[in-house]
Structure 1
Amino acid sequence: MTDTSHHITALLDQQKQLLDELLLLLRQEIAALASRDVSALEHITQEKLTTLQQLQDNDAALAVSDDIATHKSAPWFVQQVASLDAQLNECKTQNDINQLTLEQSQLTLARFKTELLSSRGKAGLTYTSKGKPAVDSKGKGVKA
């Protein structure tokens, strides 16, 4: 292998390591969502952003590498890229699961909020201009 081959192999190996880190962070994220650990979610989000930036930077370095066009047809390169694509698809799937979990959690909280508001008395329950339930806090003694 030439020096450029070693450089490209090192970049591909780094991509694999970064995708491993991203998948681990996504799995930690769903655990934090399940336990409703806001501080852990904030920390994981920052780490995800850093890892995604590193992936993007590494990808850009690969794109401008010398002789990348000649290595694209090499069997070892094609195999490594296919492995990275499979890993990336796994990250995307886990991210979709996390998104669905978050959306379901938000819906559950919205329903719980509506139930709490309606239990305070139907007379004071109103809706905002966006259709969200709210409690009218003006009291019964106010006349227009």
Structure 2
Amino acid sequence: MKRRHLTTALAVLTGATVLFFGLNFLLNPDGAPAGFGITPWPEGNADGYFAVKGVRDIAVAATVFLLLMIGQRRTLGWVVLIDAIIPLGDALTVLTHGGTYTTALSIHVSAAALVVLTAVMLLTERGQRPQLAVPSKTTDRRREKYIDRVNK
């Protein structure tokens, strides 16, 4: 497997995972929070947090998939690197709000490490060399017509 294929697979995994979490928090607000690592979870009006988290995760996933789709791999690398702040912030939140070190490290810090690895691989990829366009006679004629029209 080529490095570029592995990097693409990791980027897709990053996007798919965060998309899954976002959809899970939106569609399964009673079950999704159990694996996050903080108890007790918000109740009543405070459970609107789940919708906020779900929408945030879906937006992050959409950004990853868009940049992959349009071939902006270097930009994707920078975005994924910045997105590593999210699981690190989640780990800090777990640690400062009654969660366990085990949860913070095994879930959130390991996710951040994978996200950083993906970013580094994207940022260090060597792109294909651009093909030089060879001007054709048609291109030359169009250029000449444009210059004539501008000079009139």
Q: Could you tell me the TM-score, scaled by structure 2's length?
A: 0.35
Higher strand share: 1
Q: Could you tell me the TM-score, scaled by structure 1's length?
A: 0.36
Structure with the greater alpha carbon radius of gyration: 1
